[in-house]
Amino acid sequence: MHGFGNWYVLLGVLTAAIMVLAPLSVLPVNGQEEQPDKPPAVTDQQEEQPTTSTTAPPVTTPLSEDTFRILEADGKTVSEMDARTFLIWTVAAEMPANFEPEALKAQAVAAYTYFCYERAAERSSPSAALCGADFSDTPVAYPEGYTAAYWQKRWGEGYQTYYDKIAAAVDAVSGKRILYDGAPIFAAYHAISSGTTEVPEVVWSAAFPYLQSVASPLDAEAPDYATTVTLTAPEFVKAMTGVEGIDLSGDAAGWVKDDAKLSAAGTVVTQTVGGVSLSGREWRSRCGLRSSCFTVAYADGNFTFQVKGYGHDVGMSQYGAQFLAQSGYSWEEILHHYYTDVEIR
């Protein structure tokens, strides 16, 4: 196992390499990454509160023999796809194909684990809205985004190279899942952390022993780690429309109170606007921010947000996984860093 204390030494070594990373492969189209989007354009997986899975997992089988039932975009049709095919396209949507093979493998295992978790939770307590499907929240529109034609259009001449690379990563970890107490974990992941990953209690008010705050300092070198969003006063008022009890009268300079409550990882837990304490998650959604790690200031008729990271900040950082892979970490080491006290099998 590599020493994570050496990360800071690697910053200078990796900076040049980071600058040549291409933008992520696709834009989020399923509404989960509600803001910000380019680049990177990874699905901000799991903005909804996670459910608790109590169903014992099936015996691990090859991906080609496993299946998922997916609710299509029409909200009525349920399709079944073998897990290998599903996972190849999911990894394509979630992580750039030019990332390191070990990062792609880590992503494949995290995504497979997450969808196994979703399947187990749904089958133990079915929702009428899913019409018998295991889930509907795929990274790209289903079924259009899960076809060779879709990716041939996205990748162009690079299609076969990218497909082969991702398929090889998926096959290398076929059937592997991240387990805690013998069951698949809620394997949350996001694009870029703030430099330290967040605990789920801050984001979803739900605790998971394997989702702890861990260092991910090289994320600060990721493309667009720091972003700025500026809203005029009228745009800000529009963004806050519907907040119960809010008062945005008088001088706009006094609308936002300098009372932000921050988590240990730097996430805004709450901050007052117009006399109402708003969660960082709602600030993010309403103001189109890439994450809930932000500061806001008013000057010259504008509200300016300085934002760090991209996504909910819980679980595995995808750019963090890439930087670790570039540093020689295996996919298992990457996953054990971001998910605490788990086993992989």
User: Is the pLDDT reported for residue 12 higher than 80?
Assistant: no
Question: Rounded distance, CA 225 to CA 307, Å?
Answer: 8
* Local structure of 122: helix, strand or coil: helix
What average pLDDT does this structure show over 69-89?
97
The residue that leads in pLDDT, 167 or 28, is 167
Amino acid at 44: D
For the chain, the structural domain boundaries read 4-190+317-344, 226-308
* Local structure of 128: helix, strand or coil: helix
Residue 38 binned pLDDT confidence (cut-offs 50, 70, 90)? very low
Q: DSSP character for 204?
A: H
For the segment 306-338, what is each residue's pLDDT rounded down to a tens digit? Answer: 999 999 999 999 999 999 999 999 999 999 999
Q: Tell me, what's the pLDDT at 48?
A: 55
User: Is the pLDDT reported for residue 13 higher than 50?
Assistant: no
Angle, alpha carbons 198-199-204 (nearest 5°): 110
Q: Provide the token pair at 63.
A: 């991906």
Short-list 269, 252, 245, CA closest to 303: 252
What average pLDDT does this structure show over 13-34?
33
Q: Cβ neighbours of residue 268 under 8 Å, at least 6 residues apart?
A: 260, 261, 262, 280, 283, 292, 293, 294
Q: Tell me, what's the pLDDT at 2?
A: 55
For the segment 192-219, what is each residue's pLDDT rounded down to a tens digit? Answer: 999 999 999 999 999 999 999 999 999 9
* Local structure of 135: helix, strand or coil: strand
Q: Tell me, what's the pLDDT at 60?
A: 63
What average pLDDT does this structure show over 274-292?
98
User: Is the pLDDT reported for residue 343 higher than 80?
Assistant: yes
CA–CA distances in Å: residue 124 to residues 3, 48, 119: 40, 19, 8
What average pLDDT does this structure show over 166-186?
97
Q: DSSP character for 18?
A: H
Q: Which residues are paired to 78 by β-bridges?
A: 71
Q: Tell me, what's the pLDDT at 157?
A: 97
Question: Rounded distance, CA 191 to CA 320, Å?
Answer: 8
Q: Tell me, what's the pLDDT at 61?
A: 72
Q: Tell me, what's the pLDDT at 28?
A: 32
> Of all residues in the chain, what percent carry a pLDDT higher than 90?
81
Short-list 255, 247, 165, 264, CA closest to 212: 264
Segments in 51-193 forming alpha helices (H): 83-94, 101-124, 148-155, 159-172
Q: Tell me, what's the pLDDT at 89?
A: 98
Range scoring the smallest mean pLDDT among 5-19, 25-39, 193-207, 302-316 = 25-39
CA atoms within a 13 Å half-sphere pointing along the CA-CB vector of 61: 11
Q: What is the mean pLDDT of the chain?
A: 88
Amino acid at 159: Y
What average pLDDT does this structure show over 210-237?
98
The residue that leads in pLDDT, 54 or 262, is 262
Question: Rounded distance, CA 160 to CA 152, Å?
Answer: 8
Residue 19 binned pLDDT confidence (cut-offs 50, 70, 90)? very low
Q: What is the pTM of this model?
A: 0.86
